[in-house]
Amino acid sequence: MRKPAPIKLRDRLGRSGLHVALAAAAAFAVYANSLQNPYLWDDVEQIQNNAALRDWRNIPKLLTRGYYYAAREESYRPVDSLSLIVTQGVLGPRAGAQRAVNAGLHALNAALVYFLALSFLPAAGALLAALIFAVHPVHTEVVNCVAYRDELWACLLYLAAFILARRRRTAWALAAYGLSLAAKETAVTLPALFLAHEILFPAGPPAAPPRLMDRAKTILSSPFLMGAALITAVYLPLRFTVLANVEHQASYPGGSLTSNFLTMTPVLLQYVRLLFIPVRLAVSYDVPALRSAAEPAFLGAAALLGAAILGAVWRGRTDRQVAFWSAWIILGLAPVLNFVPFLHTSLMFERYLYIPSVGLALLLARAAESIPKRAALALAVALLTAYAYATVARNRVWRDGEALYKDNLRIFPNNHRIYTFLGGDYLSRGQFEPAIAHFEKSLRLAPGFPSAFNALGTAYYRQGRYAAAIENYEQALRAKSDDSSVINNLCMSYFQNGQVEKALETAQLEMRRSPSAAEPYGNLIYFYRVMGKHDLGLKTAEQAFSQGIYSPEIHDQLGILLAAQDRGTEAIAEFEKALALDPLNFEIKNDLGAAHANLGQFDLALREFEKARKINPAHGPTRRNMAMTYWKMGRREDALRELDQLMDLSEEPEQKEKIRSLKEMLTK
C-alpha cells in the first residue's frame, strides 16, 4: 500500500482554512459555558492556593528540583509550569481566564488533528475527525481542570512532532518531542508510534518490497528515530531518579506486577468504553485491586479486549489505517497502565484519554469512508450532536463542588476520596457539621486514609478543638509520614494547644527537611509575634528572603508583625506584596484593610474590606472589621447592617455569640 503523501501545509491551508476554523471554533464553543465555573477538584490546591504560580521570580527556578517541592507539584513538567506562571501573570488568577486558555489549547489541538487527518483522509473525513476530537465529552476533565493543562501541552507538542517527523523536518520534530516530554512524561510513546507508522506506511514507490533486514535497517536508521531514542534514553533515567518526587511514591495495586496486570485489564476496557461510549463520567473512579486471574472482572475484560484486538488485527490486514489508529490508541494508553508504578491516588482518570482520543477520532472518520455518503453524513451529525450536548451538559456539573462531587457519588457511592473532597467543599463554606460527617464517612470506607485525617484535623482546628486536631494530624502522619501540609498543620495545632516548644521544634525540623518550603517560615514568624519575640520574627523573614523564598504567607505574617510594632506603612507594603502573589486571598485583603483603618485611612480600608467580602461574604473578621470602621466613621446604621448580615450567614453558635457581643458593645 502506498504511503500517504506528507501534507503540503500551504496548499492545505488555502483549501481547508474554513475546516480548520470550524474545528477550532467547535472546540472552543462547547466549553463556553465552563468559563464561569470556579476552581474545583485538584485546581483548589494546585492552582487557586498555589502562590508559586503568581511569582515571576520562579521562572528561572523551573530548571531546579526545589521549585517542584515549593509549588507542591508532583512531577517535573516545566512546560506546563511555565505556561501557568505566564498566564497567571498576564491574565490574572480568575478561573474563567485560565480555563479559557485551556479551551484555546484544546482548539489548537483540534486544528492539528485536522492537519494530521488530512494526510490520510479526504478533506471531509479530516474535518469529521477534528470535530469528533473537538467535542468529545471525555475531554471535559482536561479543559475544566486548569491543573491538567499538561495534557493539552503534551498532546499539542506530540502532534506537532509527529506531523513534522512525517515531513522529515527532523530537527523541529525532535525539538517538539523533547518539549512534549517536558510537558508530560506520557509523550514518551512517540518514537514507538512513529516506528509503527514507518512499518505500516513504507516510503517510496510500490515496487518490489525490500528484504526484511534491509527494510528494518532503513527504518531504524531514520534520523528522527535515532534522535528520539537518544532523547528518551537521557530523559527516562532523569525522570525516575533525579527529577522524581520522593513525597509521591507509588506502588502496584495488590503489591505485585501480576496484581497490577489483573487490575489494569478491566481499567483498559473501561478506557476503551469511554472512548466509544462516553457516559457515566467521573473525576474519581473506583478500581478494586484484583489478585486472581479467576475473578470475573478480569476474565470478562480480557475476553472483550481480546476480541477487540483480534478484530482490529483482522481489519488491519486489509486497511493499514485501522491498524495504525488502533496502535495509536493502545500506545497512548500504555504509559498509564501503571506497569511502571506512578499512580498513588487512583488507578483511572479520564484525562489520560486525551492523546489516545486522537486515534479514536481518526478511526471513526476512516470507518465513515466505508459506508454510503448519506448514511455517513447522518451518523456523523447524530454522533457530533450527541457528543457536543454531553460535553455542554458535563460542563454544568462542574459549576460547583457540591454538584461535581455528588454527581460522582451517584455513580460511585462508596468513593472515599470524593467524600473527603465534598467535606472540604462544606468546610470552605464554614459548614462544619456536614464537613466532619463526610470526613468520617471517608474514614469508615477507607480506614487510615491520610487526606481524610488531615481534612478532619483542619475542621477541628477551625472549631478551636486543637487536641482533636492534633490527634487526627498525627494519624495522618502515621499513614504518610512525609506530608508537608500535614506537618505544618500539626505545627500550628501544637502552638494553639499551648505546646509551644513542640510547635517551634516541629517548624524548625520541617525547615531543615524542606529548605525551599515557605510554610515553616510563615509559621515561625507567627509564633514569634504571638510570643512577643518580634526580633526573631523579623530575622526569620529575612532568612527566608535571603534564600529566595517568597510567599503570601511570609509577607502576610511579616505585615501583621510590623503592624503590631505600629509600623503601619511598612505593614501595608508587605500586605500588598502578599496580594501580588495571591490576589484572591480574602484574609490578606482583610489584613490590608485593617492596616489602613489603623492609620485612619478609612476609605482605603473599606475598599479592601469590600473586596474581601465579595470573595467570602461569610468571613467573620472582615465583616467585624468593616463594622468597626463604619462605626468610627459615624456610619452606625451601616455598621449594624454588616453585623446583622454576618449573623444571618453564620451557622456556628460561637460565631453568633461573638456578633451579639460586638453589637451590644457598639450600642451601649
pLDDT tens digits for range 266-291 = 999 999 999 999 999 999 999 999 99
Indicate the average pLDDT of the chain.
89
CATH number, position 530: 1.25.40
Looking at the fold, whether 69 and 173 belong to one and the same domain comes out as yes
Looking at the fold, whether 339 and 465 belong to one and the same domain comes out as no
- Last residue of one domain, picked from the residues 335, 362, 397: 397
pLDDT tens digits for range 193-238 = 999 999 898 865 554 455 555 666 667 778 899 999 999 999 888 8
Nearest to 469 by CA among 452, 490, 495, 444: 490
Fill in the DSSP letter of residue 39: -
Which pLDDT value is given to residue 208? 47
**Containing domain of residue 492, as a range?**
414-506
406 lies in some domain: no
Looking at the fold, whether 225 and 283 belong to one and the same domain comes out as yes
Q: Worst-scoring range by mean pLDDT, 155-164, 210-219, 333-342, 627-636?
A: 210-219
188 lies in some domain: yes
407 lies in some domain: no
623 lies in some domain: yes
Looking at the fold, whether 163 and 191 belong to one and the same domain comes out as yes
107 lies in some domain: yes
User: Residue 60's pLDDT band (boundaries 50, 70, 90)?
Assistant: confident
- Last residue of one domain, picked from the residues 506, 530, 550: 506
pLDDT tens digits for range 397-451 = 999 999 999 999 999 999 999 999 999 999 988 899 999 999 999 999 999 999 9
Looking at the fold, whether 43 and 141 belong to one and the same domain comes out as yes
4 lies in some domain: no
Looking at the fold, whether 555 and 638 belong to one and the same domain comes out as no
CATH number, position 642: 1.25.40.10
Looking at the fold, whether 460 and 521 belong to one and the same domain comes out as no
Looking at the fold, whether 59 and 15 belong to one and the same domain comes out as yes
Looking at the fold, whether 564 and 664 belong to one and the same domain comes out as no
Residue 197 C-alpha cell reads as 507508522
- Last residue of one domain, picked from the residues 397, 432, 458: 397
2 lies in some domain: no
Region 114-136 average pLDDT: 96
pTM for this prediction: 0.86
Looking at the fold, whether 275 and 386 belong to one and the same domain comes out as yes
**% helix, strand, coil for the chain, step of 5:** 75, 0, 25
Number of domains in the chain: 4
Q: Is the pLDDT of residue 7 over 70?
A: no
End-to-end CA distance of the chain: 94
Region 141-158 average pLDDT: 97
Looking at the fold, whether 658 and 562 belong to one and the same domain comes out as no
Q: What residue spans of 429-546 are helical by DSSP H?
A: 432-445, 450-462, 466-479, 484-496, 500-513, 519-530, 534-546
Looking at the fold, whether 16 and 112 belong to one and the same domain comes out as yes
402 lies in some domain: no
Residues 129 and 117: their CA atoms lie apart, in Å, by 7
Number of neighbours of residue 344 by Cβ within 10 angstroms:
13
Q: What residue spans of 55-138 are helical by DSSP H?
A: 65-70, 78-91, 95-118, 123-135
